Amino acid sequence: GAVVSQHPSWVICKSGTSVKIECRSLDFQATTMFWYRQFPKQSLMLMATSNEGSKATYEQGVEKDKFLINHASLTLSTLTVTSAHPEDSSFYICSADNRDLSNYGYTFGSGTRLTVV
């Protein structure tokens, strides 16, 4: 149990276009999901907390108008990178809060590698 699916696993886009990444909890409901960004050989940095039915909470320094988050249902959160630029190229990972399940923790998706050319 506690599977999180992330799609797509990789995407290449042109500079100036927008890209949408989906994060789904497959076998549980998650009122809270998280979006992280990971640059090569670095750690995961939390970008924002996605709350079902309400606005996302962004970490300091993360542009909310550039990284649009929508959490319209208890099993789906989306991250849209708007007007992408090469410096947005990174590994984006979502996680879902499943602390009400038997195993404490946050289950992570398999990540999306974004390359902006």
Positions that interact with another protein (CB under 8 A) = 4, 6, 34, 42-46, 49, 59-61, 91, 93, 95, 103-111, 113
Q: How far apart are CA 96 and CA 99, in angstroms?
A: 9
Q: Smallest distance, Å, CB 105 to another protein?
A: 5
Q: Which is nearer to another protein, 28 or 106 (CB)?
A: 106
CB atoms within 10 A of CB 23: 28
Could you give the CA distance from residue 78 to residue 24 in angstroms, rounded to a whole number?
9
Task: Considering the complex, state which of residue 60 and residue 86 has its C-beta at the smaller distance from another protein.
Answer: 60
Nearer to another protein, 54 or 60 (CB): 60
The answer to whether 14 and 81 are in contact (CB under 8 A) is no
Closest approach of Cβ 48 to another protein, in Å? 10
